Amino acid sequence: MRQSQLFTKTSKENPSGEVSLNAQLLIKAGFVDKEMAGVYSYLPLGLRVLDKIKNIVRDEMNKLGGQEILMPALHPKENYEKTERWNSIDILFKLDGTGGKEYALGATHEEIVTPLVKKFASSYKDLPVYVYQIQDKFRNEPRAKSGLLRGREFSMKDLYSFHKSQEGLDEFYEKSKETYFNIYKRCGLGDLTHIVFASGGMFSKYSHEFQTVTEFGEDIIYVCEKCGVGVNKEIISEQKVCPECGGEKLKEEKAIEVGNIFKLKTKFTDAFDYKYIDEKGQKQQVFMGCYGIGPSRVLGTVVEVHHDEKGMIWPEEIAPFQIHLISLGDEGKVEAEKIYDKLIEKGVEVLWDDRDMQAGAKFADCDLIGIPKRIVVSKKTLEKNSVEVKMRNSDEVKFVEIDKI
Amino acid sequence: MRQSQLFTKTSKENPSGEVSLNAQLLIKAGFVDKEMAGVYSYLPLGLRVLDKIKNIVRDEMNKLGGQEILMPALHPKENYEKTERWNSIDILFKLDGTGGKEYALGATHEEIVTPLVKKFASSYKDLPVYVYQIQDKFRNEPRAKSGLLRGREFSMKDLYSFHKSQEGLDEFYEKSKETYFNIYKRCGLGDLTHIVFASGGMFSKYSHEFQTVTEFGEDIIYVCEKCGVGVNKEIISEQKVCPECGGEKLKEEKAIEVGNIFKLKTKFTDAFDYKYIDEKGQKQQVFMGCYGIGPSRVLGTVVEVHHDEKGMIWPEEIAPFQIHLISLGDEGKVEAEKIYDKLIEKGVEVLWDDRDMQAGAKFADCDLIGIPKRIVVSKKTLEKNSVEVKMRNSDEVKFVEIDKI
């Protein structure tokens, strides 16, 4: 894409009233626009990143055997009466429709997916079923000051699994952990993300969260120095022992929750009287799990952990473009156009800064936007029949002959 | 995909309480599930079609120069007070947030996109700007009995254009008409869809709708026999003359509105005091247009016009799969697996009915689901070292040697 065509612009000033670092950088670079607290628009650069994260999540969910569906955001009140959650989910947005109808805006989809899967999977032959969606959720958050980390409207991948037995659920739950780590690795959060024991609510001893360690995190976790598994402060007992390996050296860290998995067991299937018929013709309980990850929250977290004083530093696989091509002066522009066309033809994602601006301003924008590789074409580089190549995460500059790009 | 893995099933009975043909067929075939009136979930087959339609729309919008963004569904009340539409949009869903905040659920996005583009495009050098999104809209419809044609929650592509002058708007508006026809052609609605004069509201004489002729349509239009352009019944004058060519022979037809384009002129830009600075440093008004098309409504319309008594008949480019491979008996299954693997390797989209079921039930499902090409592998076809090939929209059956598939 030619940067002169991009309708957004970078800004030098910090956006007013925005205290979170991720939103500050994303707004300054023109990736997102703030509509109001906790509600953002994704602009072309930000949407490219968000879509890449969604596609990584989609790819890994498909590998896990998930079938993609898309459920609505408007939920009927009746379903929440069955699960007794109409009044107990405190962040649920509620609204009135015509004819005295009451709706909730989906903050989670157990109330929708359970009766949906019940319609189709009634025999032992039909189970297990794994369905997921990537869809926007709504939460009436009292405080929404963390940019993309805590939104009133935010994108979410939620997978739900339905099993014939507790063992089937346990097995799939373990398998999903690997999938989650694959996602974080591909999004550039692999090294910093720990699996963490958290509260299991009323029906399990534990659930698990995935927490990315960063000084800007809102959560406190204790990471076992022996096995790397963490424990959320909310559930750690006084003796502070790792529930995974019994290790006794736990390090306190601040972290951002970037995913969670939960054994719901039969709480929702029972509420909707969802049973399956076994090999002997007997009705049996259906065991359920849920597996969440928020692509917009992952995006915000990546910014929190991958930036420097100049701007963002995108991991390769989720960068809005792979190459930021910068042409300086008229000579640079002529040659850059040829390079641009060649790269586009080869399917490389290039943002070409073809604007008539000073080198300093272009470099500053480039560092702020944070595309992994910078290629500069100028009178100076052309004298060497070369371009100048620099990675965003390194200071090393090297010259590469034009034919060898 | 192996059909045995698909968690949905077809149903022989018409869904209760569903009067619209599109929803009846889509529900019976397991493409969608009805949550409540006007609110549907997209199941794996339906989501594949919806995504294909969205991708055609995206592709054509990009060709038109549109930049994709994603705006939120939660809108602040303040913005509607500026345009005086908080009380005048009768189908607007409203809800209360914490701290006395009031929100609307987006039924359209002029109130969001106008202040957004204002932030970035303030000079004559920045205009025109064309931005679009593909996003879910909400409408508190009093009646929602038309399946996917009139939803309370539905997918929408809305493009907004911003221009320096009325002429710029007029020119782009004309160009957008071609783009719209490209979309309908690719979705299999080209031959049946007319551009139709409709009310321009308070600020234009006319707007334009795109209407697909079908006996199940809710709208009445008059199509000029000379030029093919239509007029919506709502605005036709008593003399009934074509406003395009003056033709006097107009044929009354029922039709479904599958898109509309509208010159908003300066209604919204003035409301948000959005001006640009011209070459002479003077403030000037910004002219705006909006261009809508609903992918879910297009999906429903395609079902209304492309079906027979056995089920749906998908146009090639938006079919959930290109080939429905059906294996009969054990011999058929062994050979079908090889064919399936080969087709998948070549990137062909195949749904393989690998279930242990009678031929009749498999053929009935195949006709209901409506994939363009059916390939049958059975003992009978294998005796001829062949498969049987049949197009969904034809009765002709031919045998093709396995090596030549």
| A344-383 per-position pLDDT tens digit | 999 999 999 999 999 999 999 999 999 999 999 999 999 9
| B132-179 per-position pLDDT tens digit | 999 999 999 998 889 999 999 999 999 999 999 999 999 999 999 999
The residue of A1, A70, A96, A274 whose CB has the most chain B CBs within 10 angstroms, and thus the best one to mutate to test that interface, is A70
Alpha-carbon Rg for chain B, nearest whole angstrom, is: 24
Residue A17 pLDDT: 86
The sign one gets for the Cα dihedral B348, B354, B355, B357 is: positive
Q: How confident is the model at residue A35 (pLDDT cuts 50, 70, 90)?
A: very high
Residue A294 has pLDDT above 90, yes or no: yes
Residue A133 has pLDDT above 90, yes or no: yes
HSE-up (13 A, CA, CB side) for residue B359: 10
CB contact (8 A) between residue A120 and residue B95: no
CB contact (8 A) between residue B7 and residue A67: yes
HSE-up (13 A, CA, CB side) for residue A180: 29
| B314-370 per-position pLDDT tens digit | 999 999 999 999 999 999 999 999 999 999 999 999 999 999 999 999 999 999 999
Interface of B with A in 44-83 (CB under 8 A): 44, 47, 50, 67-76
CB contact (8 A) between residue B71 and residue A141: no
Cα–Cα distances in Å, from A402 out to A340, A371, A377?
Answer: 12, 20, 9
Provide the token pair at A11. Answer: 């800004």
Instruction: Please name the residue ranges forming H helices in A161-235.
Output: 166-186
Neighbours of B105 (CB within 10 A): 26
pLDDT above 90 as % of chain A: 93
Residue of chain A with shortest Cα separation from B11: A120
Residue B145 pLDDT: 86
Residue A204 has pLDDT above 90, yes or no: no
| A86-103 per-position pLDDT tens digit | 999 999 999 999 889 999
| A357-368 per-position pLDDT tens digit | 999 999 999 999
| A42-85 per-position pLDDT tens digit | 999 999 999 999 999 999 999 999 999 999 999 999 999 999 99
CB contact (8 A) between residue A140 and residue B98: yes
Q: Which residues contact B16 (CB under 8 A, 6 or more apart)?
A: none
User: Nearest C-alpha of chain B: how many angstroms from A396?
Assistant: 34
Q: Strand, helix or coil at A327?
A: strand
Q: How many residues does chain A have?
A: 405
Interface of B with A in 218-277 (CB under 8 A): none
Residue of chain A with shortest Cα separation from B92: A97
Q: Which residues contact A298 (CB under 8 A, 6 or more apart)?
A: A53, A183, A184, A187, A189, A258
Provide the token pair at A111. Answer: 């109330």
Domains of chain A, CATH where assigned: 3-308 (3.30.930.10), 321-404 (3.40.50.800)
- How open is the CA angle B92-B96-B101, to the nearest 5 degrees? 110
| A296-338 per-position pLDDT tens digit | 999 999 999 999 999 999 999 999 999 999 999 999 999 999 9
Mean pLDDT of B179-199: 97
Residue A216 pLDDT: 85
Cα A251 to Cα A239: distance, rounded to the nearest angstrom: 13
> pTM for this structure?
0.97
Residue B202 pLDDT: 72
Residues of A in contact with B153 (CB under 8 A): 72-74
Residue B255 pLDDT: 97
- How open is the CA angle A243-A246-A252, to the nearest 5 degrees? 70
Q: Closest Cα to residue A35, out of A154, A136, A128?
A: A154
Q: How confident is the model at residue A239 (pLDDT cuts 50, 70, 90)?
A: confident
On average, the pLDDT of chain A sits at: 96
